[in-house]
Structure 1
């Protein structure tokens, strides 16, 4: 893991006016070139690829791009915190709300406690790509209601590191409160 920190000090405006000392100074702009970041293929299952953009272990928040092939879905899941989804291309819906499809340009807010199952229609003519921000965990269940898994920031970081290593790619994302970047494959190190 590579982390770059700047020592605390005075920050000034572009005109040179002093600003209060900040708790976590930011010496560099934190950004990801999405086009240079490889997809982690089948990260969430067949036809469900991800690009982690930010994984914050301390706040248990994560931001990623999801690419879903036509006709795939995720297990039914319960959100312990809020989630936000902005659809960039394609079409998807929650099986519980088939008359509310999300298409390119749709923004969806999910409050804590939401329960639903993500699905892309088999007749989609393109992959569905969505920007997803989650706070907390997704508690996933099988179709029969039995426990499947938990996906939170810790699990996602571990999974992304393992997949990057297994797929021979370098996946880079913004680490949470460390105000730095992590490059993988390095599996799960801290």
Structure 2
């Protein structure tokens, strides 16, 4: 069994889920931990090849470890399984899943993620509270018992 498969199985068990949380066309998440006082969250993120995360800004730092698949960052760098990326607070970027394999990334997000439109206008803001609400909503829809992921 590969590392990504082990991580997914452990995350499913820890969160009390048997399905990923859908977040849009070709994108899902699995929560691992919610940081104290709403400071951020830790999750597995899964994207189908070709799915692109739009332009966004991080209000806190982000740590991301590719467990499977690849992605191309807006600066042209290719990130493969086993590669680690640190994004400092204030970083603005976009990226997309590449190749033929599903992308699975272990992500630690501090602060919020702000999706941006023209002239850096904030279109959507995602916080730890939003992620926790998504988790509880998914549990309610699937009949799962929410776990204390703290």
Q: Which residue in the other structure is 1:38 paired with?
A: 18
Q: Name structure 2 gaps, 5 residues minimum.
A: 1-8
Quick check: which one's strand share is greater? 2
Structure 1 stretches of at least 4 aligned residues deviating more than 6 Å after TM superposition: none
Q: Which residue in the other structure is 2:32 paired with?
A: 53
Mapped partners of 2:147, 2:114: distance in 1: 23
1:169–1:109 Cα change, 3 Å: farther
Q: Do the aligned partners of 2:139 and 2:146 also contact (CA within 8 Å) in 1?
A: no
Question: Mapping of 1:107-146 within 5 angstroms?
Answer: 107-121=84-98, 124-142=99-117, 145-146=120-121
Q: Which residue in the other structure is 1:179 paired with?
A: none
Q: Which residue in the other structure is 1:76 paired with?
A: 55
1:144–1:126 Cα change, 3 Å: farther
1:33–1:76 Cα change, 3 Å: same
TM-score by length of 2: 0.81
RMSD: 2.2
The size of the alignment, in residue pairs, is 139
| Structure with greater Cα Rg | 1
TM-score by length of 1: 0.65
Q: Which residue in the other structure is 1:85 paired with?
A: 64
Q: Which residue in the other structure is 1:157 paired with?
A: 132
Q: Name structure 1 gaps, 5 residues minimum.
A: 1-31, 177-190
Quick check: which one's helix share is greater? 2
Q: Do the aligned partners of 2:38 and 2:129 also contact (CA within 8 Å) in 1?
A: no
